[in-house]
Structure 1
């Protein structure tokens, strides 16, 4: 018996008929077209293909034109039964799609809904075969790729030169790093690439967002086109001038295509002009010190006293984690409050000749096996943590709402739960003072969503290279608005402490975006709305993970 749990395990999610019909109508152009539905299930796409072919004048039985592949035998038999009920014949092969070799006479249309299995469950022989199939097309996928990625690449191999590929894919095609190879492949393989995006969820009882991929021809495309639909009913209104083109640069994510056109125009105008820069223009972003075992190396004041460690064997640090960094400045007073509250504000850093107390603590670490941890055992001595340069700014790279830049007035060292930013000498003074304030603007907050990535639970993460690309006001802009930003610092601090960040954002937007850069309130509201849209998308995805895990 084919249960929902079994269908989920193999990534089978049944497609709304209207979506299947739309793709079939788009992909099938003549009465002689041959059609393949890989992973065909119970023929969700072959059935509207029958209607489309017959409407174009095809012969009644369609035996040589309808083809399917299905790994689940009972579903393959159900597909044949469905075709028979529609007085049509077809060829359904039972087996793994990744084991299939394209026939000499390839297909005019390959249409379907690939199985969607997240990488955590997509393992073993199934993953190995999928990666090999992608590699055969010159695409090396990463270990984070979900099942649909290799499926999309392999499916294109079954098309003839003028063929059309119409697939229902997860919206992560646009936004995740591991899909960069798929995005690059689509633009190099096809002459035209179009995507239909939906504002509303379109699969019943499934919270995963989807896009429709419509790709055709060969020879490469310099850009892709997007149609923003509200829901399935909007598909009926697509016309020639409905599409908006986007030309990505290199492996740049396609996330901007998710934005409303008006907001994208304002965002591009700001971030591509001289009034904004990237965080990389301000300085270097780098990961904090990696201890190998924070529980051993990060100590509280009472720990240090109990162990009788010398002051020279302890280093002031920002405690592990980032929850304590809520304002714009990490001050000496704030650090002292954390130390009084028994937070782990010291790093164990004995010198070349550890004291007797330090040696005793090292011995307890060895008794506990701390020295066997990977980061410990590959360094000599294992208890000497490699330090990084003290940063001017701290950067919270894993967040629910937004990344935070915090001035490191405590001059503290930091661990790998944070990034540090070392500012260039020419901009160090004003950057330390005001860049964390200036980054509370809607363009930067939108940029954080665009350049970052969604992780489990809806968390927004920035790798160092992604943090480098965060759009922030330029040094010239900061100089121009410095006095105004200084004047509102007390209000910003109060808003952030009272968990009302939007009040702080409104104040900064008024100064930087409206007064200085001349944006209208409508344009600023558009940036905020676009940021909220991307925020809600990743939150929705986190709910999807909870429902489907």
Structure 2
């Protein structure tokens, strides 16, 4: 946001750097038509860009005017000087008059005089959103009663600050990243919307409508500022922007906690009820009731510290300066366990199954390898140079289970039979003492059920390419079979374990899930019709995620 103003060519790269992605006409027209209901409505576009929303607002206000020749006046804010000038020209050409302030929106004190605030906030991730602009943004959100974490992207504060310009009963209509539904840092924004507005509506898209932005979006339509709480949200869905004029009735969705993730808003409520029922009855529980989930080892340079057996042999490193390692990535963790034999086979295939871990007095071979790392610049990498001794990687104990965190299908729990260390490409699950034996043996198998797979789609988040990512805090609340249920069904689970292992080896995940469902879910506790609802909901969420991933390529 806080970029240096310039008058040179406004290239695609320059727009992307400040989070500016201009909006299709079908979306701007839809938002203007929803938000503006009288020719007297005062309108603000707080990130005007090239005035796409303001032009749509001019057309809408002129339609609502009782006389021809009406020239509506609108307000806008735009950081980029050239875009501000273009906005004036485009609004005038459309038959309106624009007052565009060329400044940082966060530098403006709220002026609650507007009937409608519309627009597409700049989307800058936290890594590029820093300095004075971030400080002003967080202060602006605080004025709205919302405390944002340092991980929040620019749109979060922008949404709160925009709402504070509304008069009582006003309307907020914005294009927002679909992160609103799922990321942890957006929790305070979600609560703000439900508490401050009388009605909240979300419009979702099956396809990405901003491919260049590499982010999925939704439309937020919030009505009745200051008249909340909303109590529920109305969810509608369109295939793409062109289908906005043909939206169906949608569904009504009530969150258990407005600050919690809204991913369940995409699901038939009847498909959620079996999950809640299983949790209420103690048949399912959160993963953190089994133990702790933590990040893996951060080396700073995996290519240097993670070594194949062949590379170890070439370097002449002694065994006591190495740790057994689950190789970088998680493609090898698609079964139920990682055994010592599997690890040896991965090593024969050239994968990095050792971690360089010299002691206080490195051997001659290790000293030579350390020198080579100095010469190659490994010691200057951030994680290396901030250590007391750059080549001594901070370790974590071998975990009971390895949890894949980046998944094309679903997160997998894998028993760490090899007692291998793991990098931060996977997470480690450490059981409490009372659950360790049972959990190591059967939780990876028991977790392959439709309720757990559905909940993974709810608590995880969708990344580029349709990947489902799950972080340790999200894994903590992930619904898995409880220790009591696993213990009660242990004999049946052991009986199907070889069959499930074979199906996973063949890549038949859903067939394996069907087998586990019959052991844990099917029967009087979850009739077939309700189980099918759960399975269909999981399939729809996964399909939505992968289709958006493909459309974004």
Structure 1-normalised TM-score?
0.84
**Residues 1:197 and 2:203 are matched in the alignment:** yes
The count of corresponding residues between Structure 1 and Structure 2 is 527
Match of residue 252, structure 2, among 229, 232, 243 = 243
SS at match of 2:297: coil
Which residue is equivalent to 1:370?
A: 378
Distance 1:302 1:25, change over 3 A: closer
**Quick check: 1:422 aligned with 2:434?**
no
Deviations 1:57-77 (CA, angstroms, capped at 9, x unpaired): x676666x7423264333432
SS at match of 1:214: strand
From 270, 287, 303, the equivalent of 2:295 is 287
SS state of the match for residue 201, structure 2? strand
Alignment of 1:365-514 (within 5 A): 365-514=373-522
Structure 1 partner of 2:5: none
* Aligned counterpart in structure 2 of residue 323 of structure 1, from 321, 331, 335: 331
Report the CA distance shift for 1:482/1:70 in structure 2 as closer, same or farther (over 3 A): same
The runs of 5 or more residues in structure 2 that have no matched partner are 1-7
1:76 aligns with 2:56: no
Could you give the per-residue CA deviations for residues 260-296 of structure 1, whole angstroms, max 9, x where no partner exists? 2221233333344411111100011112222233223
Q: CA deviation at 1:433?
A: 0.9
Q: How far apart are the structure 2 equivalents of 1:341 and 1:509?
A: 35
- Paired residues of 2:30 and 2:244 also in contact (CA < 8 A): no
| 1:119 counterpart residue number | 125
- Segments of 5+ residues of structure 1 without an aligned counterpart are none
- 1:156 corresponds to 2:163: yes
Is 1:542–2:552 an aligned residue pair? Answer: no
Against the structure 1 CA distance between its residues 201 and 461, is the aligned structure 2 distance closer, same or farther, given a 3 Å change threshold? Answer: closer
How far residue 161 of structure 1 moved from its aligned partner, in angstroms, is 2.1
1: CA distance, partners of 2:292 / 2:414: 15
Alignment of 1:88-237 (within 5 A): 90-93=97-100, 95-96=102-103, 98=105, 101=108, 106-110=113-117, 112-115=118-121, 117-119=123-125, 128=134, 133-134=140-141, 136-139=143-146, 141=148, 145=152, 148-188=155-195, 190-198=196-204, 200-201=206-207, 208-218=216-226, 220-221=228-229, 223-229=231-237, 232-235=244-247, 237=249
Tell me how large the CA RMSD over aligned residues is: 3.4
Name the counterpart of 1:520: 527
Distance in 2 (CA, whole Å) between partners of 1:373 and 1:8 is 30
Contact 1:80–1:92 under 8 Å retained in 2: no
Deviation of 1:467 after TM superposition, in Å, equals 1.2
Kindly state the Cα deviation for residue 102 of structure 1 after the two structures are TM-superposed.
6.5
Label 1:511 to 1:59 Cα distance change in 2 as closer, same or farther (>3 A). same
**Cα pair distance change 1:378/1:109, threshold 3 Å:** closer
1:2 to partner: Cα distance: 11
Shift of 1:362: 2.7
Provide the TM-score with structure 2 as the length reference: 0.84
